[in-house]
Structure 1
Amino acid sequence: MASRLLARSMFSLPLKTRFALLSLVVSVVLVAVKFYAWLLTRSQAVLTDALESIINVVASGFALYSIYLASLPKDENHPYGHGKVEYLSVGFEGGLIWMAGVYIFYTALQSLLHPHAVARPDWGMGLLAFTALVNLGTGFLLVRAGRKHHSPTLVGDGQHLYLDAVSTLVSCAALLLVVFTGNVVYDSAAALILGVFIVVNGYRMVRRSVSGLMDEVDVATVQHVVAELQEHREPAWIDVHNLRVVRYGANLHIDCHITMPYYFSLEQTHTEVHRIEVLVDQEFEVQVEMFVHADPCNFAACSHCRMPECPVRQHPFSQEIPWTLANVVKNERHQLVEVMG
């Protein structure tokens, strides 16, 4: 009865929370398996792998908490929501991985200078191969779910499990070399290589976290928005510029300036702005918050304006300037540059 209630409560949780909880449970189980493998083998490479897996447990716990925070609705103190905490989670995880890598590198260097025998490597290889397969499967599920639901936390956690699986496979290879050669130096050398590998990947995760927190441009998303505006472009949308896309976890905040005929009424302008907002919102599965600032046109834009039967046109239409990533992100009306340049 209790197990049924637990299963029901699990499936009642949001999807991202379920995946984060899965990661935490798997990490706890596998770190226990790896330390048992180390007790059997006393291998430095296995110890390195087990120590790195402790980070999995801490990081998965923080990831679960960050996903809970990111799911909270907007409030007075967080008018854009709580999604940014997912980038903080990735940075926290990356920082832990980096520190673990430094420590692992140090202990591996000591072991290389003072090698010791490895016991029962066959058992160690079997247990580690099992954990590698579990980590690969769980990591694949997390990365796929994170990309589908635009969760940096799940993607980061899944990639960390990939990293853990690679570390485990290297440890297995080191034990295999020890078995066939009898030289325990391979064990310490593998741990040393893993230390460097872990440090580099920890740095990359921190770098990705800083990019998100600093609102670094997501080129692919901006190009997607520009392509949709260009494809469904209306004559009344004379120009778009100062386009900015900011990601708050899974959600997007988009704002831009749209030039429209200066003689439009407030109601007409509002209608066109609403059409733009609906167009962009329909293109993304996540929540989109869009703000469009309407600018009045001037006569310098006439030669690039396709507005039919315009009552105030001063110049005949000559050519339409395509909207591209290069010109829509600038804080300037690019028609004026073309006409006056």
Structure 2
Amino acid sequence: MPLPLKTRYAILSLVVSVGLIGIKFYAWAITRSQVVLTDALESIINVVASGFALYSIYLASLPKDENHPYGHGKIEYLSVGFEGGLILMAGGYIFYAALQSLLHPQAIARPDWGIALLAATALVNLVVGFLLVRAGRQHHSPALVGDGQHLYLDAVSTFVSCLALGMVILTDNVLYDSLAALLLGVFIVVNGYRMVRRSVSGLMDEADVTTVQQVVAELQEHRLPAWIDVHNLRVQRYGASLHIDCHVTMPYYLSLEQTHEQVHGIEEVVTQEFGVPVEMFVHADPCTFAACSHCHVAACPVRQHPFTREITWTLANVAKNERHALGLSE
């Protein structure tokens, strides 16, 4: 049985990271450059993070079970946070080591060889990082996107290292080496914080505004007269899967079978929009006469007020836990 595509990309990332770390430490061995050591130390994080990303993608692919009724997709956000935490620690150490090197500079040997080796690793990281980010976005995998962005970060760090070694060659001043390492330490810490922030957002179910807007737009475009009102809409992402729930006001005189058909129609409208597994729960609320003014149902047998206007569903009003224009909290 062939491995899933996400797993194959994660394995590619791990293999590439292991290979490049050997090249970078060889470059440091022949140059004794602080900025090259900085780059090599960050690559250790790549290996650990790629391994954890691979394991998290495997866990995320497991089906739902009794202990995990929403599946295992959240592990991918944990993977991003773990990777970000490692980057933060590495950045802190790199910053400290760069300060020490700045205070006690050392001569650099064969910087031209260092540039050649590092430039080759940077190009590989850029290509693999691009592939991982593209695959992660196509398959809605936070772990792959985070791993690819980390490789982008590593490539940027490597190019800065090459620039620093170039300045050492041109000026014969080793302080450029230490200054570049210092800047990389700051850059790495900032990006590590951003990854941790993104991980926490996913684990805390921070609203995915883009996805919610897509759901609202689909409901608005395909709305039926019996869907009088939509409110308390919530969207949660579990790895590649989506869990959506909302309240829909419908005519109170519909039979249970008719209400079920309307709910099924809502679920079909939403699930067809997304190319990922969608689990949707719709809570049907009975209408009240106060809803007549914005109800589209023609020839309603119990209408008490004429239709006056349609309430357009937007991100701002569907998320509220109250029926539109009624002010009735539930």
* Partner in structure 1 of residue 243 of structure 2: 253
Q: Distance in 2 between matches of 1:257 and 1:290?
A: 11
User: Corresponding residue for 1:168?
Assistant: 158
Among 202, 205, 208, the residue aligned to 2:195: 205
2:265 maps to 275
Maintained 8 Å contact 1:150/1:249? yes
One-letter amino acid matched to 1:97: I
SS at match of 1:319: coil
Distance 1:309 1:334 in 2: 22
Structure 2 match to 1:179: 169
Question: How do 1:71-150 and structure 2 match up within 5 A?
Answer: 71-150=61-140
> Any idea what the Cα deviations from partners look like across 1:251-286, whole Å, max 9, x if unmatched?
100000000000000000000000110110000011
Alpha-carbon distance in 1 for matches of 2:11, 2:298: 57
Letter in 2 for 1:203: Y
> What secondary structure, in the 3-state scheme, does the structure 2 residue paired with 1:336 have?
coil
Q: State how far apart, in whole Å, the 2-side matches of 1:24 and 1:201 are.
A: 20
Measure the CA separation in 1 of the matches of 2:234 and 2:175. 54
Give the aligned length: 328
Residue 303 (str. 1) matches residue 303 (str. 2): no
C-alpha contact 1:45 1:171 (8 A) present in aligned 2: yes
Deviation at 1:189, TM superposition (A): 0.4
The residue correspondences of 1:222-237 to structure 2 (distance < 5 A) are 222-237=212-227
Question: Would you identify which runs of 4 or more consecutive aligned residues in structure 1 move more than 2 Å?
Answer: none
The alignment's C-alpha RMSD in Å is 0.8
Distance in 1, Cα, partners of 2:81 & 2:326: 43
CA distance in 2 between partners of 1:323 and 1:281 (Å)? 18
Cα distance in structure 1, aligned partners of 2:87 and 2:38: 12
Judge conservation of contact 1:52–1:97 (CA < 8 Å) in 2: yes
Question: Aligned to 2:57, what secondary structure does the other structure show?
Answer: helix
Counterpart amino acid of residue 217 in structure 2: A
Amino acid at match of 2:61: S
Could you list the runs of 5+ residues in structure 1 that have no partner in the other structure?
A: 1-8
Query: Structure 1 residue 326 and structure 2 residue 320: aligned?
Result: no
Residue 293 (1) aligns with residue 283 (2): yes
- Relative to the length of structure 2, the TM-score reads 0.99
Mapping of residues 30-109 of structure 1, within 5 Å: 30-109=20-99
The corresponding residue for 1:4 is none
> 1:243 & 1:222 partners in 2: Cα distance?
8
Query: Percent of aligned positions with the same letter in both sequences?
Result: 81
The unaligned stretches of length 5 or more in structure 2 are: none
